[in-house]
Amino acid sequence: MNNIEKIFQISIDTKNKVLNSNLIENLIEMGNVSVKAIEKGRKIMLCGNGGSAADAQHLAAEMLVRLRPSYNREGIPAIALSQDISTITACGNDFGFDNLYKRLVQTLGKKGDILIVITTSGNSENIIRAAKAASDMGITVFGFLGSNGGKVHKFCTKSFIVPSDNTGRIQESHITAGHGLMEFIEDELLKSGYITLQS
């Protein structure tokens, strides 16, 4: 087996571990809470660093625009806190990068919103500060984490913790879980009639 084949096999094994745990139930609970929040006029915020920032943007786009080509529906309110380079560099310069997401959560977040923090280590200082600020504001925090969940885990109402220490394999499970969560939210909002399909 060559290295590429090994990567695929480890990724499959990691996802099988997820399937044989209670993590899918956690995603369903996250989905139900998110649906109720959106139906009350709230939004989903997402944040992460590096590849996890890209995942946050990816998942927010799926909600704002469209997730599945056959489901041409209204947009669902979601925002990736990492999408504005001017804000990121201004905050990094003026207040420090560690305060970036905290600042944005405090400015854009409202009680009843959802914050999804995506971090493979769970120990990124800017993510920890954002999660704590959100928790203090009455914003529900969900974690997409890895390994043992890290320091941010204690600020999360519910977490999807990938049973791995390998960054790449964690990220692969995060995006699969993210797609699963967003499809669940979309299906439930369509079922309830909160959003509708468009011609």
What pLDDT does 1 receive?
79
Note the helical H segments in the chain.
3-19, 23-39, 51-64, 85-94, 100-108, 125-136, 167-192
Say if 23 falls within a structural domain: yes
Say if 79 falls within a structural domain: yes
What pLDDT does 12 receive?
95
Token pair 């790449």: residue: 168
Q: Which amino acid is at 25?
A: E
**The total number of structural domains that make up the chain:** 1
Confidence of residue 10 (pLDDT cuts 50, 70, 90): very high
Query: Do 173 and 51 form a contact (C-beta atoms < 8 A)?
Result: no
Say if 198 falls within a structural domain: no
Say if 56 falls within a structural domain: yes
**Which tens digits make up the pLDDT trace of 125-166?**
999 999 999 999 999 999 999 999 999 999 999 999 999 999
Q: What is the mean pLDDT of the chain?
A: 96
Say if 111 falls within a structural domain: yes
**Which tens digits make up the pLDDT trace of 35-44?**
999 999 999 9
What pLDDT does 198 receive?
85
Closest CA to 190 of 58, 102, 88, 72: 72
26: domain range? 3-192
What pLDDT does 83 receive?
84
What pLDDT does 92 receive?
95
**What CATH number is associated with residue 143?**
3.40.50.10490
